[in-house]
Amino acid sequence: MGILEGKRILVTGVLTDSSIGYHVARLCHEQGATVVLTGYGRLSLVERIAKRLPDAPPVLELDVTDQGHLDSLAERISEHVDGIDGVVHSIGFTPQEALGGNFLNTEWADVATAMHTSTFSLKSLVMAVQPLMKDGGSVVALDFDNSVSYPIYDWMGVAKSALTSTARYLARYLGEQQIRVNLVSAGPLKTMAARSIPGFEELASAWPERAPLGWDTGNPEPAAKAVVALLSDWFPATTGEIVHVDGGFHSTGA
C-alpha cells in the first residue's frame, strides 16, 4: 500500500515529461492516488503526456488568471472525483522583459503578469478547490530559493519571494480547516519553463559544484518525491514550511 492510497490529487503545470508536475503525478499514481491534471494553452500536448502515466488521468483546462476557469473548476473536478485531498501548484510565468538582467527597466505591466500568474494564482487555485477539501488536505507549491538574488532571474525571483509569503498566509488562514500549505524549493532543473529563461545555464552552473550533495539539473525526481511526501499523511503537523531540495546549495556560502 502506498503513502497516498485512496487520496485524490490535483496536479497543475504538467506540460512535458521533464516537468516536475509530471513526475509528481507519476509518483502519486505509484503511491496509490487518483490524479487529475490541469493544463493551459497546449492542452493536446498535456493530454498526450498524460497517456504516459500508469493510469491516464483526466486533463482539465485551467488558466489561473481567468476567473471563469477558476469559478467552474470545482464543478469540473467533481465530474471525475468526489473530493480533493491534495493540490500541487506548479505554475509560473514571467514575460521575457522581466528576466535576463532587465530588472531596472521592467514595466509594471510585465511585473503584474508575473505576479498574477506565478504568485496570486496560488491563492486563486486553493480558493477554487477549497469546497472539495471538506476533510482538510495538503497544498504543495513549487518554489525556488529567494533568500538571495540571482543573475538573470530578476522579477521571477521577486514573484517567488511573494509566493513564499502567500503560502505562509494561506497556512495561517486555512489551518483551522486542517488544510496544510507548504513549499518545495527545488534547485534549477532543465524543464520547459527553465528553457524560457535567458541565460538559464549561467544561473544553474554553480549548483553541481557548490551543493554538498551535488545536483543533477536533469533529474526532477528528488523534488517530486518531496512533493509527494508532503501530500501524504506523514507530515500531519507541518504547514507554512519550505523544504529545500537542491542538494544543500541553499545552506552553503561562497
Q: Is 39 annotated as a binding residue?
A: no
Q: Is 197 annotated as a binding residue?
A: no
Lowest-pLDDT choice from 24-28, 33-37, 214-218, 250-254:
250-254
Band (199; pLDDT cuts 50, 70, 90) = low
Kindly report, residue by residue over 75-116, the tens digit of the pLDDT.
999 999 999 999 999 999 999 999 989 999 999 999 999 999
Which residue spans within the chain are E strands per DSSP?
8-11, 34-39, 59-61, 86-89, 137-143, 179-186, 242-245
Q: Is 64 annotated as a binding residue?
A: yes
Which pLDDT value is given to residue 193? 67
Q: Is 66 annotated as a binding residue?
A: no
Per-residue pLDDT averaged across 140-155, rounded?
92
With cell 514595466, the residue in question is 107
The whole-model pTM stands at 0.95
Given its phi and psi angles, is residue 11 left (phi above 0), alpha (psi -120 to 50 degrees) or beta? beta
Whole-number percent of the chain with pLDDT over 90: 78
Q: Is 184 annotated as a binding residue?
A: no
Given a cut of 70, whether residue 194 has pLDDT beyond it is no
Which pLDDT value is given to residue 102? 92
Which pLDDT value is given to residue 205? 80
Produce one character per residue of 63-82: b if its CB has 16 or more CB atoms within 10 Å, e if not: bbbeeebbeebbeebeeebe
Given a cut of 80, whether residue 200 has pLDDT beyond it is no
Which pLDDT value is given to residue 135? 95
DSSP state of 105: G
With cell 527545488, the residue in question is 186
Per-residue pLDDT averaged across 136-146, rounded?
96
Kindly report, residue by residue over 220-229, the tens digit of the pLDDT.
999 999 999 9
Band (203; pLDDT cuts 50, 70, 90) = confident
Band (196; pLDDT cuts 50, 70, 90) = low
The angle at the Cα of 81, spanning 12 to 26, to the nearest 5 degrees, equals: 45
List, in order of start, the domains of the chain with CATH numbers: 8-247 (3.40.50.720)
Which pLDDT value is given to residue 32? 97
Q: Is 100 annotated as a binding residue?
A: no
The angle at the Cα of 26, spanning 23 to 31, to the nearest 5 degrees, equals: 120
